[in-house]
Amino acid sequence: MDGVDIEGLLRRLAPQVLGAVVRRYGHFDLAEDATQEALVAAVAQWPGDGVPDDPRAWLIRVASRRLTDLLRSDQARQRREDTVAAWTLPEERLAAPADQPPSDSDDTLVLLFLCCHPALSPASQIALTLRAVGGLSTAEIARAFLVPEATMTRRISRAKQRIRDSRAPFRMPAGDERSERLAAVLHTLYLIFNEGYASTSGPYLQRTELAAEAIRLARTVHRLLPDDAEVTGLLALMLLTDARRPARTGPYGELIPMADQDRGLWDAAAIAEGVALVSEALPAGDTGPYQVQAAIAALHDEAASADETDWPQIVALYEVLLRLGDNPMVALNHAAAVGMAKGPAAGLALLEGLASDRRVAEDHRFYAVRAHLEEMAGDPVAARESYDLAARRTTNLPQQRYLHGRAARLGR
């Protein structure tokens, strides 16, 4: 069994195993622990003993045995504490009629919906999704988010307790609830991607590949819901953004803005896949924010240079985004795009209007955009001051370095 990617296999099987165990026995919280232990056992045994003929069945068997042990000790503890257990009722475990056996794919989706339950904070939704669906260990998740392992352990066990207390049944939500919950799932995946994409190297960082993990999970959801245009849009957005990653930093980890990136380094295959996905999603109607953002990313990715970018089209797309929701950061990006399409004066005029919005007026990005437009307008003194103001407002060291570098280019 040499050459088998055991880790990849286990990560793929993790949600299927957990889904099958919860479906049979209920008790999401304990089943999740049992599944993790089965994964750990596989990592220890498979490289030496070889991968079993039916790895999924092996994992379900080991996890079920472990769950039985956990339930016994849990019941004993609960009797001691004399508390009423929030057992899952047998009818809540029944998800589908007997003549329609639930498939593994349904289970993975139901798990995602459960992990992004509205009773949980975004941080807990992210942690639980990465563990229960992504198959990452608590230690890996803790390292990815730069918190001590004990903190992450607590965060995950509290999240599971909340789900247990909410008595959420293990089944697919229906109607409006389903679309709300799907939006929460997509937002969680978006946050995981951002966390991975936005981070750069630093002396204290040792990050699991969160962006790659977010893409893997988005692919799974897209495979399960191929007709949902926002799911397609989110996957496209991730691919089109991640495609630029190789050009985003220099040899010493310094930030390189899109205009100065070597576009030959962009991942052409990821761009082609992303563009195909956007083209497939957009005509499907009901245009949502992920599709629009993906369309903007596609316009950037398809341009041979910053100057050859279709800025008027990007401006139009930002205006669509602004109509979809009041977001000051979108307004800021819109002003920057207007500056490129119609000249810096038009962009600066829009910024003026944003200066009274307290949500952006203290944000370093506001000053960075202003500095860039002032530089374009041929006002190096004002631009230099704005770059310095931006640098002073960010706590991100590589960003500060970039902003000071821009200011230095304009001379003292």
Partner 1 sequence: MKYIIMLYASQQDYDLMVGNPTDRPAWDPEAVAKMHAFMEQWTGELVESGEFVDGQGLAAPAHTRRIQGGRDGAPVVTDGPYPETQEVLAGYTIVECDSFDRATEIAARVTECPSPSGEPNGSEYIDVRPLANYQSDLEI
Site for partner 1, rule CB under 8 A: 143, 146-148, 201-206, 250-254, 391-392, 395, 397, 400-401, 404-405, 408
Tokens of 296: 């903007």
Instruction: In whole angstroms, give the CA distance from residue 389 to residue 41.
Output: 54
Shortest reach from residue 149's CB to partner 1, in Å: 8
226/253 with CB nearer partner 1: 253
CA dist 342 → 251, 294, 336 (Å): 34, 23, 10
Shortest reach from residue 254's CB to partner 1, in Å: 5
- Which ranges of 50-174 would DSSP assign to H, the alpha helix? 55-81, 90-93, 104-115, 122-128, 138-144, 149-166
206/305 with CB nearer partner 1: 206
Burial class (CB in 10 A: 0-12, 13-18, 19+), 104: middle
Shortest reach from residue 384's CB to partner 1, in Å: 12
Shortest reach from residue 337's CB to partner 1, in Å: 28
28/366 with CB nearer partner 1: 366
DSSP structure string for 119-151: TS-HHHHHHHIIIIIT---HHHHHHHTT--HHH
Shortest reach from residue 304's CB to partner 1, in Å: 27
Shortest reach from residue 138's CB to partner 1, in Å: 14
78/201 with CB nearer partner 1: 201
342/401 with CB nearer partner 1: 401
Q: Torsion angle, CA of 5/6/12/14, rounded to 10 degrees?
A: -170
Taking phi over 0 as left and psi of -120 to 50 as alpha, with beta for the rest, 103 belongs to beta
Tokens of 349: 């005029």
89/146 with CB nearer partner 1: 146
